[in-house]
Amino acid sequence: MKIEDLEYLAGKISEMIIKASRVVVFTGAGISTESGIPDFRGPDGLWTRLDPEDFTIQRFMSNRDVRKMQWRLFAEGGLLKMAEPNAAHYAIAELERLGKLDCIITQNVDNLHQMAGNSPDRVFELHGNLRWVRCMGCDRRIPTEEVLPRVDKEEVPDCEVCGGTLKPDGVFFGEALPQRTLNEAIQRSRKCDLFVVIGSTLVVYPAAYMPMYAKEAGAQLVIINLGSTPMDSHAAVLVEHKAGEAMSRVIEKVKSKMAS
C-alpha cells in the first residue's frame, strides 16, 4: 500500500502493531542519518571520500599504513561521530517499554538503539558495533573510548594484554558476520508476525534476507524508507517519509490505541 498521507499510514501501522504478537524492527543507515551519521552509499556517503578497498579485512590486517589511516579517522571522528539517538530510535525504545517489541535487527554499528533505551539483549547487530574494539589475537573486547586516546602517541595501538592487532568491532568487507547473532536474527525473523523495516534500502546481504525470511513465514511487512527497495512489492504498508517523523506518529497512535 503506497499512500502519501502519513497520518493515515501511521494509523495503519499502529493497528498492525497492536494486533501483532511478535514485532521485529529492522534498521539500516537511513535511521541514523537523522542523528548526523553519514551513510556509506548515498551522494554524500563515506564511499565518496574513502576507498572501500581500505576497509577489507585482508588489507586492514596486512597493511600497517591502512590501520594507521583508519585509527586516525576514528580519532578525528570521521568514521563514527559521537551522535545522539533521534526520534525514531526513541520511538522504537518506547515500543519495547510498551511490550510490543520482540527485537531489533540492525545493520548499524553506532549503538544508538541501546543509547535510546532498548535492552542490549534485544538488539542484534549484524555488522558489529564501533563503540567497541576487538583484539584479533586474544579476542578481548575494549571500549573504543579507551583506545582512541592512544592514537596520537602510538598511531596504531595494539592489544596491551597480548600485543595482538586491535580492530574496530565492525564487520569489514570480506569478514563473516557474527554467526550467533546472524542465526538468532534469522530465527526471530521467521517467528515474527510483523516485520518493520526502517531506513534500509535492503541491498546489503545477508542482512537483506531478513524481511524475506519473515514474509516466507507469513509475517506482514512494513517498509519506512526514503526511496524504493527490492521488497516494496511485498509490503503491506510503504512509507516514504523520514524515519523520525514517521515513527513518532506511529508511536503516538500506538499509545493512544492502547490507552483507549
CATH number at residue 137: 3.30.1600.10
Q: Among 36, 34, 144, which residue's Cα sits nearest to residue 92?
A: 34
Q: What's the pLDDT score for residue 37?
A: 80
Pick the catalytic residue from 89, 113, 127, 234.
127
Q: Are residues 148 and 252 in the same domain?
A: no
Handedness of CA 46, 50, 51, 52 (dihedral sign): negative
Q: Tell me the pLDDT band of 82, cut-offs 50, 70 and 90.
A: low
Can you state the angle between helices 243-259 and 87-97, rounded to 10 degrees? 30
Between 192 and 50, the more confident residue is 192
| Cell of residue 4, nine digits | 502519501
Note if the bond before 43 is cis, omega within 30 degrees: no
Q: Tell me the pLDDT band of 44, cut-offs 50, 70 and 90.
A: low
Residue-wise pLDDT for 149-181, tens only, equals 999 899 999 999 999 999 999 999 899 999 999
Q: What is the mean pLDDT of the chain?
A: 91
Q: Are residues 53 and 123 in the same domain?
A: no
Q: Tell me the pLDDT band of 79, cut-offs 50, 70 and 90.
A: low
Q: Are residues 93 and 104 in the same domain?
A: yes
Q: Looking at 144, 170, 196, which one is the last position of a domain?
A: 170
Q: Tell me the pLDDT band of 80, cut-offs 50, 70 and 90.
A: low
Q: Are residues 159 and 223 in the same domain?
A: no
Q: Are residues 119 and 147 in the same domain?
A: no
Q: What's the pLDDT score for residue 55?
A: 82
Q: Are residues 103 and 211 in the same domain?
A: yes
Note down the domain range covering 57: 40-79+130-170
**C-beta separation of 190 from 217 below 8 A:** yes
Q: Are residues 105 and 61 in the same domain?
A: no
Q: Are residues 63 and 189 in the same domain?
A: no
Q: What's the pLDDT score for residue 45?
A: 54
Q: Are residues 183 and 211 in the same domain?
A: yes
Average pLDDT over residues 59-83: 83
Q: Are residues 226 and 254 in the same domain?
A: yes
Q: Are residues 146 and 248 in the same domain?
A: no
Q: Tell me the pLDDT band of 75, cut-offs 50, 70 and 90.
A: confident
pTM of the model: 0.91
Average pLDDT over residues 205-233: 96
Cα-based torsion angle of the residue sequence 59, 172, 177, 162 in order, rounded to the nearest 10 degrees:
70
CATH number for the domain harbouring residue 10: 3.40.50.1220
Q: Is the pLDDT of residue 104 over 90?
A: yes
**Catalytic residue flag (residue 127):** yes
Q: Are residues 155 and 213 in the same domain?
A: no
Q: How many domains does the chain have?
A: 2
